[in-house]
A and B are shown apart, each in its own frame.
Chain A
């Protein structure tokens, strides 16, 4: 893929991720700290079609854009740490252990990593480990939300392949 074209794809994917993040905030979840993580779909698409450097650029820019638009500097710390770590884990599983994990499994692993990072960062901010008591709640929710985002990612990637988008360019 040509450099300029790559940057254009990055811009488009980040815009979609930002929009999906905001749509997700309209879906109320009654458990504190639990999010659907629909923007993870974009990270999975990026992992499937782009290299790790571009995936990281997409994750970082998405977190920055969401933080700027939602005016949450601390949210940036949470989403950046969780986003980078979960993207790394998902990339590793997709590239090295693709035969053992479906996209749903990879998405669940990413969600587990994201929520673990989130609770660890919260513990660092509060300077107390009692936040870790909340980890089981977040891990159970990560499995459910990971399955949902993984299912959607599979559908989206299937549709992208059917229409020949990104596959011809990568």
Chain B
């Protein structure tokens, strides 16, 4: 919930001071939560690959077209400092999203969604069934990984021990591995069916809303942040 509030505050904040306060707060909660540097770096890497790289490519190209080709300077909203601030703002939104998923166990989300979306069952949407499927995925995934490990350990020597293999042959081995994995998994349909049945009967109704002392402190700190950001952006109200 705090991640959601934080993301909304960051999205609505327009002044630099508000932005800096939110960034400091986000970094502080990242450190306090005991999240290691790798998590932060992973967020940064995925952001760089998906957003930053293509954006910089487009930015440099538009810079080239507008400045070198037609001699027109870039509009002020595209100045370097504005671009850096914009990219930083989007990255922190990205990072807050990652924090949200990291701090929320999938079982809690599924059970919570099942509870709040239950009325949709009456409209013919099989919400509970879909939630059992999601829980089934969480339980079946380790089994799929085991199956894959067995198949892969058998196929790996085919690639590693033959360095003169053509690309087509390598793709064929990979396809065989994937095909084997899918076929072996699909042969266990009945077992998976039983797992889903058990989940549907037992596990989805166990969710109960609980709030701990630490979470109350976190919510208070988040509300304090909103007030500080609000007054930093509108100092005349003080």
- Point out residues on A near B: beta carbons under 8 Å: 3-5, 7-16, 18-20, 23, 32-33, 38, 41-42, 45, 57, 61, 64-65, 67-68, 70-75, 78, 118-119, 122, 125-126, 128, 130-134, 137-138, 148, 151-152, 155-156, 159-160, 163, 165-166, 169
Contacts and interface: CB of A to CB of B under 8 A. Distances in A.
B112 to A, nearest CB: 14
A3 B106 CA distance: 24
B106 A68 contact: yes
A18 B43 CA distance: 19
Contact of A11 (B39, B109, B133): B133
B61 interface: yes
Contacts of A57: 130, 133
Given A7-B193, A15-B144, A155 B172 contact: yes
Contact of A122 (B54, B140, B193): B54
22 contacts: A7-B193, A12-B186, A12-B189, A16-B181, A19-B181, A33-B50, A33-B53, A61-B130, A65-B138, A71-B42, A71-B43, A72-B97, A74-B93, A122-B50, A130-B59, A133-B61, A134-B57, A155-B175, A156-B182, A160-B179, A165-B183, A165-B187
Given A5-B189, A41-B178, A57-B130, A126 B183 contact: no
Contacts of B134: 61, 64-65
A126 B136 contact: no
A8 B61 contact: no
Main secondary structure of the interface of A (DSSP, over half): helix
Given A14-B137, A61-B137, A133 B98 contact: no
B50 A15 contact: no
Nearest to A9: B189
Contacts of B130: 57, 61
A157 to B, nearest CB: 9
A166 B179 CA distance: 13
Nearest to B176: A155
B133 A130 contact: no
Contacts, number: 175
Contacts of B49: 32-33
Place the interface of chain B in its size category.
35 or more
B129 interface: yes
Contacts of A64: 134
A67 B101 contact: yes
A156 to B, nearest CB: 4
A67 B100 CA distance: 11
Given A67-B101, A156-B175, A169-B189, 14 more contacts: A8-B196, A11-B133, A11-B196, A13-B182, A15-B185, A16-B181, A32-B48, A65-B134, A71-B39, A74-B94, A128-B58, A130-B55, A130-B58, A159-B179
A107 B38 CA distance: 35
B174 to A, nearest CB: 7
A2 to B, nearest CB: 9
B201 interface: no
A126 B171 contact: no
Contact of B192 (A11, A67, A138): A11
Contact of B148 (A19, A41, A155): A19
Interface in B164-206: 171-172, 174-176, 178-179, 181-183, 185-190, 192-193, 195-197
A8 B98 contact: no
A72 B90 contact: no
B102 interface: yes
